[in-house]
Structure 1
Amino acid sequence: MKIKFKYISMIVLVGFSFSCFNDNDDDIASDTSIKNFVWNSMNATYLYKSEINNLSNDRFGTNNEYLEFIDSFEDPESLFEALIYDRQIVDRFSLISNNYYQLEQQLSGLSRINGAEYNFYLVPGSSSNVFGIVRLILPNTNASNTNLLRGSIFNKINGVQITTNNLSSLLKNDSYSLNMAIYNDNDTDTTSDDEIIDSNEIISLTKEEYNENPIYSHTVINVGPEKAGYLMYNGFVNEYNEELNQVFGEFKSQNIDHLILDLRYNSGGSIQTATLLGSMITGQFNNQIFTTLKYNDELQSNNVNYNFTNNYNNELIINNLNLNKVYIITSNRSASASEMMINSLKCYIDVSQIGDETVGKSQASTILYDSPNLSRNNVNSSHTYAILPLIAITVNKNDEEVPSSGIVPEISIIENPKEYGIIGDSFEPILELVLAEIQGFNRIPISSNNSYNLIYEDDTNSIKNLMYVKSASNK
């Protein structure tokens, strides 16, 4: 999709000459030039522009007043932060990067990781000591070639006890060793006598560049006389659309009766890909509105509908299942495009949501570069800054947004690290519950009580938490 922003406020500011805002002007210092790009791009596109007085088109009366304002900030990052609306509640997601190459790689699923994702908890009886549990092992990574398993426990890194103070610094190294441990509950229901016991096992990990395939696991499970397709999908990434279509081709060839879409670790991604996935699940709503992207009051002409489709890029025929119901697994990590999937599909088919309440994010972003039209074309080569601000919000065909508090599931169950289970296995606790729901059994009372005190969830690629639209140069 091409985004054609209106640049009236960017090119002419209360009658100023455009040259005053030319980022390649030799009279403007490099730092000022970058700040100028930050302010102009936020002024031209930011979803919450009307809430920020310092982004108003008539905010500055003279060039000097404008320059004094942007130069009053220590660096581009602090200026960007000052232009964000309600960082704690409303806009928790806009970001700035001093390296758009890395930003592009992360959005495409490429990052530097060792392949192990963790949750961290306080050691029972301690207010500072920490232990970690492996939440997920990504395939074909350094971690996948070790003895680490989902549910493995460790309490030291490089022989140093993990604490609330040193956790981040220990994890940032390219290489480190995990000192494995055992959780001993002493066969009691209380945590007061629980302890973490050192083991002799040490596992070394090294970060490498990795392009994550969001299709983590897929299989077909026999459910009585019927078949259920299961897909754990961890990110809406354009680069894997064809592989996603192949998975649905397999589901279609096996004539599945039900689909279980596991989005518990999916924090968002491409709106285009989410629309394709919605089209694969259905198929009977071609050309009808899946979701609508709405911009700020000054950019209403950019509002665009994303419609159900039966092809990809007018070439690839989509494998659709024509289902009237889908089961979607969520957690408190499910966000953005994952929530849009639920919000959009519920207008057309029955969506049974199982798991935990979602994040509550329906805004979308796009990368803005320092160029005449904010695209990658003709980008200012003197720096590599880019911003990824919230520029629009998604609504379903009934004009409903995702609630800011998140989407509450019909059947509530929180993943318990004491009983993680194997992803894709029919006895994995959450999947087992969904399968029982499909069969119409009385809902299995699975305990989701978790006495562990969660303090931190490590993520291999935090950028994927954003819902984004492809820029004109990356369509």
Structure 2
Amino acid sequence: MNVKKWLFLFVAVSTMLTSCTDQDDNLFSVPANIEVQDFVWKGLNLWYFWQGEVTDLADSKLDDAEGYIAFLQSFPNPADLFEHLNHPDDRFSVIVSDYDALQDSQQGTSDTDGADISYIFLNSGSNEVVGYVRYIIPGSDAASKDIRRGDIVYAVNGQSLFFNSETDNNLDLLDANSYTFNLADLTINSGVRSITPNGRNIDLTKSNITENPILINTTFDVGAKKVGYIMYNQFVSNFDTQLNGVFADFEGQGVTELILDLRYNPGGFVSSAINLGSMVTGQFDGQLFTKFRYNDKIQPQLTDEQENRYFRNTLSTGAAINSLGLTKVYVITTGSSASASELVINSLDPYIDVVQVGATTRGKNEASVSLYDSPSWTFTDDQLNPNHKWAMQPLISRLENSAGFSNYTDGLNPEVELSEDLTNLGVLGDETEPLLAAALANIAAAGRSLNFNSNKNIPIDLITDTKLRRITADRMYIDLKVGDSDDALQNHKVIINE
């Protein structure tokens, strides 16, 4: 199974079809059997970040109607055309044949058994795969079964997991609606992991669940300091009010230090990321949070509101944001921290001291847009093509912070480096859990250098995880503002990928 990762965010953008190109002079009909391919090419020709660098996306392609139609017909599968038109530097653009499933996932809802699991190579150089349970979603099937954080899954339905490549693996066993996880005990000897089946077999069934991204929120007393801690697992705008309530509680308790645990957060709404950054601070209202860079067709058309995002003091509901006014924040990260998580770190960095604890993040600093086959490219368009359900999410933009920094495709590196230890994952939210303990120790030391032995843990070679296997994966969503006359692309869905 292809484990390509993605990520998304909601956006409104201005109409560019007529203003960006001279294609109005090249209008012609295409045969019905290539209408999806036509949608793919025209969408990428307008929006794709690398449009000017992909020969087969040149505007001149439309100068020859017969040649254009023949080109599209050479790709009977629209997905093959999409892949053909991708730039070599593009790691995350994606096309889907069923936008219903995509939209369900965008609402934070998915079919899940409730066991959030990271799938890794048992050892470096091996094709053997094991999964370790990161946490259990409350109210799920897994929550009612004998499975918990730290359990090791070595097989599904009795078949040992393996991964040779994205096209040669058996992780599609996880796609079924129900299955049996076969568990094992893990030991490490001289730096080599080994597993021993322990006879525990857990039957699980998926159900449609909306996961609350706020898994844990609590406070700790470190000397005279009141430390707030929140484990936040996805930027979902439907939970912004609840997130704001957590910060109201922190403010009421007099929190002076904050630990954001984003270790398993793959991304989400840009608007939620801005809200979170504004809750952490509060003293930068109206100042630049992040800037988006587009291709040469889109960029000249943008207003300041469409191109830039700013710190704010209210939610979209009009409710005041509860802010802590901090000048320093601790952020726990792993290789599963991506997109909007990285956006928060990178966007806060020019303004306050951001102390990153854990491992290097994934490295996602590009945006993509959800495009549908309609005149306005939107799903809500009355003229949405009823003949198919294809949609695509091409990369359209790169993000940079107020200092102009955007070069983190290799991830953001921690100041306090400490990987998760599969033999000692600890209890999430407990002050003895290793990564949380490291952050608390740094707070107690008032920033003095501490010696954490980051080499004692064997590196975790991540293949995928439960969240990355969802359609939305590691996306983040933004809201672009449009003028009154820009109604062709209002309510457009844009996705921050990478």
TM-score (norm 2): 0.86
- Give the drift of 1:438: 0.5
Deviation at 1:190? 5.0
Q: Distance in 2 between matches of 1:256 and 1:125?
A: 42
CA shift at 1:333, angstroms? Answer: 1.7
- CA positional deviation for 1:446: 4.5
Q: Which amino acid in the other structure matches residue 491 of structure 2?
A: S
The answer for the alignment partner of 1:25 in structure 2 is: none
CA contact under 8 A between 2:331 and 2:357: conserved in structure 1?
yes
Residue 463 (structure 1) aligned with residue 463 (structure 2): no
What is the distance in 1 between the residues matched to 2:45 and 2:370? 15
Decide whether the 8 Å contact of 2:119 with 2:462 is kept in 1: yes
Structure 1 counterpart of 2:324, from 313, 321, 324: 321
- Contact 1:107–1:464, Cα closer than 8 Å, also in 2: no
Partner letter of residue 83 of structure 1? L
* 1:251 partner letter: F
Q: In the TM superposition, what are the counterparts of 1:253-268 in structure 2 within 5 Å?
A: 253-268=252-267
| Residues 146-195 of structure 1, C-alpha deviations (whole Å, 9 max, x = no match) | 1111111233322333344663132222111122222245xx5453xx64
Provide closer, same or farther for how the CA distance between residues 355 and 342 of structure 1 changes in structure 2, counting only shifts above 3 A: same
Structure 1 pair 76–16 and aligned structure 2 pair: CA distance change class (3 A): same
Q: CA deviation at 1:308?
A: 0.8
Q: Does 1:473 align with 2:460?
A: no
Give the conservation status (yes or no) of the 8 Å contact 1:363–1:390.
yes
Equivalent residues of 2:54, 2:87 under 8 A apart: yes
Which residue in 2 is equivalent to 1:295? Answer: 294
In the TM superposition, 1:343-362 aligns within 5 A as 343-362=346-365
Mapping for residues 336-375 of structure 1, pairs under 5 Å: 336-375=339-378
Distance 1:366 1:390 in 2: 7
Aligned-pair RMSD on alpha carbons? Answer: 2.4
Alignment check: 8 A CA contact 1:365 1:469 kept: no
**2:308 pairs with 305, 315, 332, which one?**
305
CA distance 1:284–1:124, change in 2 (3 Å): closer
Q: How does 1:31-430 map to 2 (within 5 A)?
A: 31-86=33-88, 90-121=89-120, 127-164=126-163, 167-185=170-188, 189=190, 191=192, 195-300=194-299, 301-302=301-302, 303-313=306-316, 315-376=318-379, 377-378=381-382, 379-430=384-435
User: What letter is aligned with 2:472?
Assistant: I
2:417·2:452 contact (CA, 8 Å) conserved in 1? no
CA separation in 1, counterparts of 2:288 and 2:460? 43
- The 3 A distance-change label for structure 1 pair 124 and 255 is closer
> Does structure 1 residue 4 correspond to structure 2 residue 11?
no
Give the distance between the partners of 1:287 and 1:130, measured in 2 at CA. Answer: 47
Q: Does the aligned pair in 2 maintain the 1:13–1:58 contact within 8 Å?
A: no
Deviation at 1:9, TM superposition (A): 7.9
Question: What CA deviation, in whole Å up to 9, does each residue of 1:261-311 have, x standing for no partner?
Answer: 111111212111111111111111111111112221111122521111111
Unaligned runs of 5+ in 2: 1-10, 480-488, 494-498
**Which residue of structure 1 aligns with residue 5 of structure 2?**
none
1:370 deviates by 0.9
The answer to whether the 8 Å contact 2:213/2:239 transfers is: yes
Cα deviation digits, residues 298-328 of structure 1 (max 9, x gap): 1112252111111112611111111111111
Q: Secondary structure at the match of 1:438?
A: helix
Structure 1, unmatched stretches of 5+, are: 22-27
SS at match of 1:235: coil
What secondary structure does 1:140 align onto? Answer: coil
Distance in 2 (CA, whole Å) between partners of 1:162 and 1:374 is 40
AA aligned opposite 2:368? S
Does 301-310 or 65-74 show the bigger shift?
A: 301-310
Letter in 2 for 1:69: F
Q: Which amino acid aligns with 2:321?
A: I
Q: Which residue of 2 aligns with 1:24?
A: none
Cα deviation, 1:127-148, whole Å, max 9, x if unaligned, reads 4544332122222211111111
CA apart distance, 1:351: 0.8
Kindly tell me: are residues 205 and 444 of structure 1, through their superposed partners in 2, closer, same or farther at Cα, counting changes over 3 Å? Answer: farther
Within 2, Cα distance between the matches of 1:190 and 1:375?
52
Whole-Å Cα distance in 1 between the matches of residues 21 and 50 of structure 2? 20
One-letter amino acid of the counterpart of residue 326, structure 1: V
Between the aligned partners of 1:306 and 1:10, the Cα distance in structure 2 is 23
Contact 2:260 2:332 in 1 (8 A): yes
Q: Provide the rounded CA distance (Å) in 2 between the counterparts of 1:108 and 1:248.
A: 23
The change in CA–CA distance for 1:55 and 1:139 in structure 2 (over 3 A counts) is same
Higher relative contact order (CA 8 A, sep 6+): 2
Find the aligned partners of 1:296 and 1:355 in 2 and give their Cα distance.
Answer: 35
Work out whether residues 14 and 61 of structure 1, in 8 Å CA contact, stay in contact via their aligned partners in 2.
no
Aligned pairs, how many? 460
Q: What letter matches 1:438 in structure 2?
A: I
Helix, strand or coil for the counterpart of 1:65?
A: helix
CA contact (8 A) 1:416 1:448 kept: no
Secondary structure of residue in 2 paired with 1:20: coil
> 197-206 or 219-228: which moved more?
197-206
Q: Which amino acid aligns with 1:202?
A: N
Aligned CA distance change for structure 1 residues 140 and 433 (closer, same or farther; 3 Å): same
Does the aligned pair in 1 maintain the 2:154–2:184 contact within 8 Å? yes
In 2 relative to 1, CA 449–273 (structure 1 residues): closer, same or farther, beyond 3 Å? same
Q: Distance in 2 between matches of 1:463 and 1:326?
A: 28
Deviation for aligned residue 1:5:
3.5
Aligned partner letter, 2:353: D
The DSSP-based 3-state class of the residue aligned with 2:60 is coil
Report the Cα distance in structure 2 between the residues aligned to 1:20 and 1:101, rounded to whole angstroms.
Answer: 27
**AA of the residue aligned to 1:56:** A
Query: Aligned partners of 2:101 and 2:40: how far apart in 1?
Result: 18
In the superposition, the TM-score normalised over structure 1's length comes to 0.90
CA distance 1:125–1:424, shift in 2 (3 Å):
closer
The 1:294–1:404 alpha-carbon spacing in structure 2 relative to 1, beyond 3 Å, is same
CA contact (8 A) 1:287 1:307 kept: yes
Structure 2 residue 447 is the aligned partner of structure 1 residue 445:
no
Does the 8 Å contact 1:94/1:388 carry over to 2? yes
Tell me the amino acid that sits aligned with residue 109 of structure 2: L
Alpha-carbon distance change, 222 to 446 in structure 1, aligned in 2, over 3 angstroms: farther
Supply the distance in 1 between the matched residues of 2:126 and 2:101 (Cα, whole angstroms). Answer: 36
Q: Does structure 2 conserve the Cα–Cα contact (< 8 Å) formed by 1:53 and 1:59?
A: no
Residues 252, 319 of structure 1: 8 Å contact kept: yes
